[in-house]
Amino acid sequence: MRTLLFICLFVPLLLAEDIRNTRTPNTDTPVALAAPASRQQWEARKAVLRTQILNAAGLLPMPAKTPLNPVVTGRIEAAEYTIERVALETRPGYWLGGNLYRPKGKAERHPAVIHPHGHWNYGRLENQPLYSAQTLAANLARRGMVVYMYDMVGYNDTAQTPHDFSTPAYQLWGFTPLGLQLWNSIRVLDYLAALPDVDPSRIAATGASGGGSQVFLLAAVDDRLALSAPVNMVSGIMQGGCVCENAPGLRIGTNNVETAAMMAPKPMLLVAATGDWTRNVPRVEYPAIRRVYELYDKAAMVEAVQFDSPHNYHKESREAVYEFLRKHLTTEKSAWKERATEIEKIQDMMVWQRTPMPAHARTFEQVFAEWKTESRGQSQKATAAELRGRLRLVFGIAPGAGDFAATVPHRMIEGRGPAVLAFHAEGMDAAAKLVPAGRAALLIDVFQTGSARAPRNRSHKQFLTFNHSDDEARVQDIVSAIGYLQARDKAPVEVLASGQARWWALFGAAASEAPVRFAVRAQEFDGGDAAVEKNVFAPGLQRAGGVEAALRLAGSQ
């Protein structure tokens, strides 16, 4: 038997700490916003953030905007406005319920307001001292504004899906309550902008609590909004407690304060309360966001008010929003004060109370199946460059090789070059056995394997909103190592792996922008949800093309 002699060069034992283990933020981790040095830097940052939000929401690429097919099931005549019960088909067979308030009087194009609600028991139909969407909508309609107040998913008329659904299978497809709600808001904007009595250049959005989250997310991804007023939600000490505010990947490296600042330089009012997580807004979050507006010389466009109150969208908060809307969207000079409003009965406001849903309305599982079908079609039509870009987003891979040498445990085996890259789920010693005799090799311990195993707190229920999964981090390490070797040897990098590590290798090779050689057989990789979840769990991976896309890309290297 031949004796193989390996000459190994060890890197220093003390590598930089892996912040993916030591820093695992969650919804309650304090955050801050530091404005960049220039408008150009901020615009570049905004583009990155917008892509991140859309990807986390499962809206990249954007789904097809199918006909909204509004269904009006009734109309209420008040003295100064009308209320219609309106459902919108925001996706094929999927209906969003709401109420459309229209002012009576002169025929003209009016400003419009998009009004999502928060987590109150009766949703858009809640009426109590701390919250009343009907009161807000009626007062704005009296003042000449068109208002559409609509459901969160799983509330009132929008019951084809539950409100709280977030299993790994749904996450793999980017199918989340947050994504559906953001899509619904985009489609509401489409609906209002197309109404003949609405001025599409004067559409605002306001909502409180979870509705506030919907407002600043919509403002971040859709430039058509002219004004936003998120109420009691923009905070550096609490990022949102519900799954409908916490899609995987949404806030990795960012936070709600930065997301809200994306409204700059357009008018935005921050409404805060002393009795909830917005208690620091006047002295912390508002000044930070104002500094972003200063980059545009538009500091006057952002304002903040705070009330001594618990969590709310009460009369005082509403009146602050009325005034902000009046100032920026109308020519009226007199202050707008709230007037008492007759609150309609819940049954009179429900779209489907007396009218059955259309026959083609889909069940929850049918809605999910249609989402998957559309995703597959988009992936099949995508170019190789588009697929690679989507995979890089899913795995959180930034441009460049990263600081590989300082953060990933590794050792070099000297020999014939260029060096191969080898790794194994059991670590470098097992990986060394994959290297042909006499061949130069770079052995690595990818994230949470071999010497890279370390404690990691994954206990927070919204962990993936703020942190990459273990498998995402593994693929990051592989892509980083490929980039390192390619830059060093100026040659395509041959990748060797076995067992489960071959799954990581497949997606590392597919996501790498450097040339890679990785021998694959399609039959060794099962592209079903269960297999992908077990072997390389990355939220959004199936939405981005999954195994089929990776095989296509790895085979084209």
Q: Would you say residue 61 has pLDDT above 50? A: yes
Where does the pLDDT of residue 107 fall: very low under 50, low under 70, confident under 90, or very high at 90 and above? Answer: confident
Degrees (nearest 5) of the Cα angle 538, 539, 544? 90
Residue 485, phi then psi, degrees to nearest 5: -70, -40
pLDDT band at 400 (very low <50, low <70, confident <90, very high): low
Q: Per-residue pLDDT for 308 more than 80?
A: yes
Domain shared by 344 and 441, yes or no? no
Looking at residue 106, its pLDDT comes to 81
Banded pLDDT at 402 (limits 50, 70, 90): low
Q: Across residues 134-154, what is the average pLDDT?
A: 98
Could you tell me if residue 63 is inside a domain? no
Amino acid at 308: D
334 and 386 fall within a common domain: no
Question: Is there a domain that residue 274 lies in?
Answer: yes
CB atoms within 10 A of CB 296: 14
Q: What is the DSSP letter of 526?
A: -
* Model confidence at 403: pLDDT above 60: yes
CA atoms of 78 and 71, how far apart (whole Å): 21
Do 287 and 414 fall into the same domain? no
8-state DSSP, 519: -
In the chain, the number of structural domains is 2
Q: Is residue 34 part of a domain?
A: no
Whether residues 543 and 450 fall in one domain: yes
How many other β-carbons are positioned within 10 Å of the β-carbon of residue 531?
14
Judge whether 156 and 124 are in contact, CB under 8 Å.
Answer: yes
Q: What is the largest CA-CA distance in the chain?
A: 98
Is 223 in the same domain as 278?
Answer: yes
What residue ranges in 69-170 does DSSP mark as E strands? 71-77, 81-91, 94-103, 110-116, 127-128, 131-132, 146-150
Cβ distance 341 to 139 under 8 Å? Answer: yes
Any domain includes 453: yes
pLDDT at site 14: 52
Structural domain contains residue 522? yes
Contact 192, 148 (CB under 8 A): yes
Report the relative pairing of strands 198-208 and 110-116 from DSSP bridges: parallel
- What mean pLDDT comes out for the span 34-44? 96
Same domain, yes or no, for 163 and 14? no
- Whether 409 has a pLDDT exceeding 70, the answer reads yes
Task: Give the dihedral of Cα atoms 400, 405, 408, 411; nearest 10 deg.
Answer: 130
Instruction: Band the pLDDT of 1: cuts 50, 70, 90.
Output: very low
Identify the domain boundary among 320, 340, 356. Answer: 356
Is the dihedral angle over the CA atoms 28, 165, 222, 60 positive or is it negative?
A: positive
pLDDT at residue 16 in the model: 73
Q: Give the mean pLDDT of 104-121.
A: 95
Q: How far is CA 380 from CA 388, 504, 523, 548, in A?
A: 13, 22, 19, 9
Phi and psi, residue 20, nearest 5°: -70, -20
Q: Which tokens hold the place of 121?
A: 């028991």
Domain at 440, CATH number: 3.40.50
Same domain, 386 and 317: no
Q: What is the mean pLDDT of residues 58-80?
A: 97
Domain that holds residue 535: 8-28+382-555
Same domain, 441 and 305: no
The per-residue pLDDT for 401 is: 53
Q: What is the pTM of this model?
A: 0.95
Q: Cis omega before residue 418 (within 30°)?
A: yes
Mean of pLDDT values over 481-493: 94
Whether 349 is in a domain gets the answer yes
The pLDDT score that the predictor gives to residue 557 is 53
The half-sphere exposure of 280 on its side-chain side, counting CA atoms within 13 A, is 14
Measured between alpha carbons, how far is 423 from 494 in angstroms, rounded to an integer? 12
Q: DSSP labels for 220-231?
A: HH-TT--EEEEE
487 in the same domain as 400 = yes
Check: CB of residue 428 under 8 Å from CB of residue 445.
Answer: yes
For residue 526, tell me if it sits in a domain: yes
| Confidence (pLDDT) at 82 | 98
Q: Which residues contact 4 (CB under 8 A, 6 or more apart)?
A: 437, 438
114 shares a domain with 190: yes
Same domain, 202 and 285: yes
Same domain, 73 and 214: yes
Q: Is residue 496 over pLDDT 50?
A: yes
Radius of gyration of the chain (CA): 26
Tens-digit pLDDT profile for residues 185-239: 999 999 999 999 999 999 999 999 999 999 999 999 999 999 999 999 999 999 9
Number of separate helices (H) and strands (E) present in the chain: 19, 17
Angle between helices 470-489 and 501-511 (to 10 degrees): 60
**234: CATH:** 3.40.50.1820
Tens of pLDDT, residue by residue over 6-35, are 444 444 345 778 999 999 999 999 999 999
Percent of the chain with pLDDT over 90: 93
User: Does a structural domain hold residue 527?
Assistant: yes
Cβ atoms within 10 A of the Cβ of 396, count?
A: 20
> Which of 317, 351, 349 is closest to 78 using CA atoms?
349
- The predicted structure's pLDDT at residue 556: 55
Find residue 305's DSSP bridge partners: 271
Would you say residue 373 has pLDDT above 70? yes
Average model confidence (pLDDT) across the chain: 95
